[in-house]
Structure 1
Amino acid sequence: MFEDKTITFIGSGIMGEAMIRGLLGQKNVLPNQILAADPWAQRREELQDRYGINVTEDNREAAENGQIIVLSIKPQTLPYVLPEIRGHLRRQDLLLSILAGVPIRKLADGTAHAAVVRAMPNTPAQIGQGITVWTATPEVTEIQKQQAQAILASLGQEIRVEEEDYLDMATALSGSGPGYVFMMMEAMIDAGVHLGFSRRIAEQLVFQTMIGSVNYAMESGKHVAELRNQVTSPGGTTAAALYHMEKGGLRTVISRGIWAAYERSVSLGKGKTEDDPES
């Protein structure tokens, strides 16, 4: 699939390195098939020493020498990077972007390139346990779709969708999702400490409860509401806790939070960057 192909990474931060590590770990490519661009000499040396890949400080060089170009920079640096690579991608090349909130049209117009894949990974992708939602323009060939799928699978699971609008939905649900989970974990750990556990033990109890519950839900094949009912005995401790959570509007707060994330993702895609979180 990647024979005689060079995959270049413009931006070699945490997520870019996760993709490099995953591709090499799955033996999809050899180290000499990867070229990573980064402005910091120390970072380039780290990547070269760690993985044996090729490195450069020149984004234009990365664009010119890759058949698959992965944009893994911070979104705020995109206005500086686009002029450097515009006109340096060949028609048969594939541009794969993991930039949050940057629509395909902006990428295609900014690079003067039509074959674009836009993807939305999430934080657990850094350890190969993420999930990525992605879509492709009509100019992306079937082979290129397979290549994009393999690259994104190096981060965990992947789901391809036909409409770009789904990426705003994915941003709200799975892209920002780890933040919701971490807040829930934080609240549970703090409650455990308040009850009298040491923080270390409270963390262990909450971490394993989360892991075990998710794995059980996935393996059972049952609706999560059914699983919740199974562990909620009438008049029991779980029933008492859930009653107070429902009374406090937990379900509604979560739903509204996800909708707020979706609306913000849509507005960012339209170029709105107001600081007011209610905008």
Structure 2
Amino acid sequence: MGIEGKIAFVGGGAMGEAILRRLLTDAVATPAQITVSEPVTARRESLAQQYAVNVTGDNTAAVDAARVVVLAVKPQVIDKVAAELRGRLQPETLVISIMAGVRIRTMQQSLAHERIVRSMPNTPAQVGKGMTVWTATPQVSEADKTIAQTILEAMGDAVFVADEHYLDAATGLSGSGPGFVFLLVEAMIDAGVHVGFSRAQAERIALQTLEGSIALARESGAHPAVLRNLVTSPAGTTAAGTLVLERAGLRATIIEAVEAAYRRSKELGDLSEGASH
């Protein structure tokens, strides 16, 4: 599905670039439709040269007459950016935020705007394999929701939730999840080196093992416990290794890690909301 009208990106960092790159790759938008506001001159020039999009250092110029505004700045600068954009957005403009921890109420008050989508993407979005959980204010129409889903799906998969509190849960599971997975990958590579592989071999084997396991889980549709049992022979190697993991409390540790990230996301949201008042 193509999107009509101007799409403005406020912030041209890694995640903003990931979205605009996928929008262009998937023909959701054309370079002429996209304007990126970015304070760093070298970064602006790089985006213009690489993607042929319009660039500016002026946030207000970027959002002028925009159909969609993607807020892709760091949460720490939202007050400054919102002060510039307040009163500059048309009532029908759809604002999509990818800022972690900044709640809808904070954005509504600081922007004086009602049509807002809050989303939580993760870093695999940079290669089109992201997971984004998002929600919207009641003022966002069904047509706007379709636009938001199209834009967010350009980064990978996107799931709409009706209640904003799930965004903190998503931060714990999918937002921080890649960090947990990379730690697992790192440990598997180290283990491979420990049992005799070169580091390059261990990295190749570990990454493909994870990628293949995920593909099998996705394509088979079987419960992970069923797939684990299929590879676990009585008194076999996998059984021996699994016993070590269970004794170490791996399952509970993963659950506690997600819960800790979830709680921290709520704390940061409370701090952000308090600072805006």
Instruction: Report if aligned partners of 2:96, 2:148 keep a CA contact under 8 Å in 1.
Output: yes
Distance 2:125 2:168 in 1: 18
| Unaligned segments of structure 2, at least 5 residues | none
Cα offset, 1:67, TM superposition: 1.6
1:35 aligns with 35
Deviation sequence 1:54-77 (CA, Å, 0-9, x none): 111001112223121000011112
Please list the CA deviations of residues 201-255 of structure 1 after superposition, one character each: whole Å capped at 9, or x if unmatched.
0001100000000000111111001111111111111101110110011111111
Q: Which runs of 4+ in 1 moved over 4 A?
A: 1-4
Instruction: Please give the alpha-carbon distance, in whole angstroms, between the structure 2 residues aligned to 1:194 and 1:3.
Output: 52
**Which amino acid in 1 is paired with 2:104?**
I
Distance in 1, Cα, partners of 2:121 & 2:231: 32
Residue 4 of structure 1: CA displacement?
4.5
- 8 Å contact kept, 1:8–1:65: no
Give yes or no for contact 1:10–1:73 (8 Å, CA) kept in 2.
yes
Q: CA deviation at 1:80?
A: 1.6
Q: Is 1:203 aligned to residue 203 of structure 2? A: yes
Number of equivalent positions: 273
In structure 1, C-alpha distance between the alignment counterparts of 2:193 and 2:256, rounded to whole Å:
29
What secondary structure sits across from 1:65 in the alignment? Answer: coil
Question: Residues of 2 paired with 1:240 and 1:2: CA distance?
Answer: 52
| Residue 79 of structure 1: aligned partner | 79
Task: Write the distance in 2 (CA, Å) between the matches of 1:89 and 1:272.
Answer: 22
Q: Note the 1:1-279 alignment, pairs <5 A.
A: 4-271=4-271
Give deviations 1:124-180, integer Å, cap 9, x for gaps.
000001111101100011111111111101101111111101111111001110011
Shift of 1:272: 6.7
Instruction: Return the TM-score normalized by structure 1.
Output: 0.95
Counterpart-to-counterpart distance in 2, 1:106 and 1:19: 23
Say if 1:10 and 1:62, in contact at 8 Å, map to a contact too: yes
Overall identity of the aligned pairs, in %: 51
SS of corresponding position for 2:271: coil
Q: Quick one: distance in 2 between partners of 1:251 and 1:244?
A: 12
- CA 1:91/1:2 → structure 2, altered by over 3 Å: closer, same or farther? farther
Aligned residue identity for 2:11: G
Kindly state the Cα deviation for residue 196 of structure 1 after the two structures are TM-superposed: 1.3
Secondary structure class of the residue paired with 2:170: helix
Q: RMSD of aligned C-alpha atoms?
A: 1.3
Gap regions ≥5 residues in structure 1: 274-279
Following the alignment from structure 1 to structure 2, what is the Cα–Cα distance between the partners of residues 9 and 65?
13
SS state at 1:102 partner: coil
Amino acid at match of 1:32: A
Contact 2:3 2:147 in 1 (8 A): no
3-state SS of paired residue (2:159): strand
